[in-house]
Amino acid sequence: MYKSIRSKFKQFVEINFWRYKKIKEGELTNWHYKQFYTDYFGLEESFYNNKIILDIGCGPRGSLEWADMSKERYGLDPLADKYLRMGAHKHKMTYVKAYSESIPFNDSFFDVICSFNSLDHVEDIGKTILEIRRTLKPGGVFLLIVDVHAYPTPTEPQSIKWDFCDTYFPDYKLLIENKYKTKELGKIYANARARIPADKNDKSGLLVCMLEK
């Protein structure tokens, strides 16, 4: 996929963010992810037994390290090669360098596709959604945690709206849809844990969804 100047700038900002985190923390931990893949959506660990999982925009922490019960687990990110050099090569999950607009897997390949704090970062939301729909198996589940923006930003070019599920997945079964306020700017997981309901006047916040194909 062709990288626009905006995309190159965004990746520059993102990799330097993770390099700063690496220096600050020493080792990038991943203990907090398990809760968001399981309890947060009312799912047991056994839900993932023998399933093939994809995490879009996975980052370098090892978001799927907890999922030993899965059949296969992949993290998709255009910065994956750089993450491996930062220590992600130690992880049990497989990192794939690719854009979400062109997921390098066959049709109906994944049982579960997840996008936590990443869908508003993609270059082309329409192409990304088509790829999610293409690669998710019938009966498969899409898990989403994403910031809702009134306006796009240089690093978050997609202005996700509250009606995201109705707009892009009208034919999927909506299992969960929660709309929350932003309690702390830039801290998506803290906002997700706070679970402060958004009201009709909120132009921004946090959208949490689980959909079944």
CB-CB contact of 22 with 82 (8 Å): no
C-beta neighbour count of 159 within 10 angstroms: 15
- Pairwise CA distance, residues 125 & 213, whole Å: 18
- pLDDT tens digits for range 130-166: 999 999 999 999 999 999 988 888 888 999 999 999 9
The answer to whether residue 103 scores a pLDDT higher than 60 is yes
Residues 72-100: b if buried by 16+ CB within 10 A, e if exposed: bbbbbbbbbebbeebebeebebebbebbb
Report CA-CA distances (Å) from 49 to 68, 82, 130.
9, 30, 26
Enclosing domain of residue 88: 5-212
CATH of the domain at 48: 3.40.50.150
| Per-chain mean pLDDT for the chain | 94
- pLDDT tens digits for range 104-124: 999 999 999 999 999 999 999
- Pairwise CA distance, residues 184 & 201, whole Å: 18
Looking at the structure of the chain, the number of domains it has is 1
Q: What is the pLDDT of residue 4?
A: 75
- Pairwise CA distance, residues 128 & 137, whole Å: 16
C-beta neighbour count of 202 within 10 angstroms: 16
Which run of H or of E encompasses 18?
A: helix 5-25
The answer to whether residue 1 scores a pLDDT higher than 90 is no
Band of residue 3 on the pLDDT scale cut at 50, 70, 90: low
Band of residue 10 on the pLDDT scale cut at 50, 70, 90: confident
Beta bridge partners of 174: 211
Mean pLDDT of 172-188: 93
- Strand 52-56: give its sheet, edge to edge: 94-96, 72-76, 52-56, 110-116, 136-148, 205-212, 173-180
pTM above 0.85, yes or no: yes
CB-CB contact of 94 with 73 (8 Å): yes
As separate numbers, helices (DSSP H) first and strands (DSSP E) second, the chain gives 6, 7
